[in-house]
Amino acid sequence: MGVKQISVSVENIPGKLLSVGECLGAERINIRTISVADPSDISTVRFVADDPEKTTNVLKSHGYSVKETEVIAVETPNHPGAFKRYLNP
C-alpha cells in the first residue's frame, strides 16, 4: 500500500524531537511509524502520520522544512520469516 512519508530535519539537541511530537499532538495527529537518522548536528526524522496533508501544514506553520515522499507500507505478522511472503513472486 502506498503512503506518504513525512521527513523533517531537526537540530540534534535534547527536546527538538519532543517539540515535533508536541506540535502534532496538539493537533491530534497520530504518528503511525517513525525513524530517526542521527548522522551529525542535524537529525532527519521520517514518519508516517494518519493525516499527511494536515501534518505537513502543521509542521510548516511551526517553521519546519518538510518533505513528502510516497513509500510502500506493509504490516507483517510478528514472527521470523513473515516478510518473506511479500518478496516471493
DSSP conformation letters of 23-64: HHHHTTPPEEEEEEE-SSSEEEEEEEES-HHHHHHHHHHTT-
pLDDT by residue for the chain (89 residues), tens only, comes to 789 999 999 998 889 999 999 999 999 999 999 999 877 888 899 999 999 999 999 999 999 999 999 998 888 889 998 888 888 76
Question: What CA–CA distance (Å, rounded) separates 80 from 7?
Answer: 29
Rounded to two decimals, what is the model's pTM? 0.79
The pLDDT score that the predictor gives to residue 89 is 64
> pLDDT at position 85, please?
83
* Angle, in degrees to the nearest 10, between helices 16-26 and 52-61: 120
What are the chain's domains?
A: 2-87 (3.30.2130.10)
Separation between Cα atoms, residue 24 and residue 4, nearest integer Å = 16
Provide φ and ψ at 13, rounded to 5°. -135, 155
